Structure 1
Amino acid sequence: MGMAACLEIEDLCFRYHDGTEALKGVSLSIQKEEKVAILGPNGAGKSTLLLHLNGIHLPQQGVVRVGGKEINSDNERQVRSKVGLVFQDPDDQVFSPTVWDDVAFGPLNMGLERAEIEKRVADALQSVRMWEFRSRAPHHLSYGQKKRVAIAGVLAMDPEIIVLDEPTAFLDPSGQEDLFEILENLHREGRTIIIATHDVDMAAMWATSIIILKDGQILAQGTTKLLVREDLVKAAGLRFPLVSQVFEEAAAGLGQPLPRTVKEGKKLLFKLTGH
Structure 2
Amino acid sequence: MAALIEVEDLHFRYHDGTPALQGITLKIDQGEKVAILGPNGAGKSTLLLHLNGIYHAQQGVVRVAGEKITRANENWVRGKVGLVFQDPDDQVFSPTVWDDVAFGPLNQGLDRTTVEARVMEALRAVGMWDLRARAPHHLSYGQKKRVAIAGILAMNPEIIILDEPTAFLDPAGQRALFEILEKLHARGKTIIIATHDVDLAAEWATSVIFLKEGKLLAQGDTSLLVEDSLVREADLRHPIVSQVFRQVPALVIRPLPKTVAEGAHLIAQLVGEKERRRGFYIIS
TM-score range, shorter chain: over 0.9
Equivalences for residues 1-275 of structure 1 within 5 A = 4-250=2-248, 253-274=251-272
Shift of 1:247: 1.1
Q: Residues of 2 paired with 1:221 and 1:50: CA distance?
A: 16
Q: Deviations over 1:193-228 (max 9, x none)?
A: 000001100100000000000010100000111110
Q: Deviations over 1:122-177 (max 9, x none)?
A: 00000000000100000000000000000000000000000000000010000000
Counterpart code for 2:128:
M
Shift of 1:254: 3.3
Q: Residues of 2 paired with 1:187 and 1:251: CA distance?
A: 39
Shift of 1:253: 2.4
> Which secondary structure state, in structure 1, belongs to the residue aligned with residue 256 of structure 2?
coil
Question: Where does the alignment leave 5 or more consecutive residues of structure 1 unmatched?
Answer: none
TM-score of the superposed pair, with normalisation by structure 2: 0.94
Q: Residues of 2 paired with 1:211 and 1:85: CA distance?
A: 18
Q: Deviations over 1:235-272 (max 9, x none)?
A: 10000000000111458723431000000000111121
Q: Is the 1:251–1:258 contact (alpha carbons within 8 Å) kept by the matching residues of 2?
A: no
Question: Where does the alignment leave 5 or more consecutive residues of structure 2 unmatched?
Answer: 274-284
Identity %: 70
Query: CA 1:225–1:251 in 2, change beyond 3 Å: closer, same or farther?
Result: farther
> Which secondary structure state, in structure 2, belongs to the residue aligned with residue 264 of structure 1?
helix
Counterpart code for 1:122:
M
Counterpart code for 2:30:
K
Q: Residues of 2 paired with 1:26 and 1:108: CA distance?
A: 35
Q: Deviations over 1:70-104 (max 9, x none)?
A: 00010001100000000000000000000000000
> Which secondary structure state, in structure 2, belongs to the residue aligned with residue 5 of structure 1?
coil
Q: Residues of 1 paired with 2:193 and 2:135: CA distance?
A: 27
Counterpart code for 1:237:
D
> How well do the aligned residues superpose, as a CA RMSD in angstroms?
1.2
- 4+ residue runs over 2 A deviation: 249-256
> Which secondary structure state, in structure 1, belongs to the residue aligned with residue 208 of structure 2?
strand
Query: CA 1:249–1:17 in 2, change beyond 3 Å: closer, same or farther?
Result: same
> Which secondary structure state, in structure 1, belongs to the residue aligned with residue 4 of structure 2?
strand
Q: Residues of 1 paired with 2:102 and 2:137: CA distance?
A: 17
Count of aligned pairs between the two proteins: 273
The higher radius of gyration belongs to 2
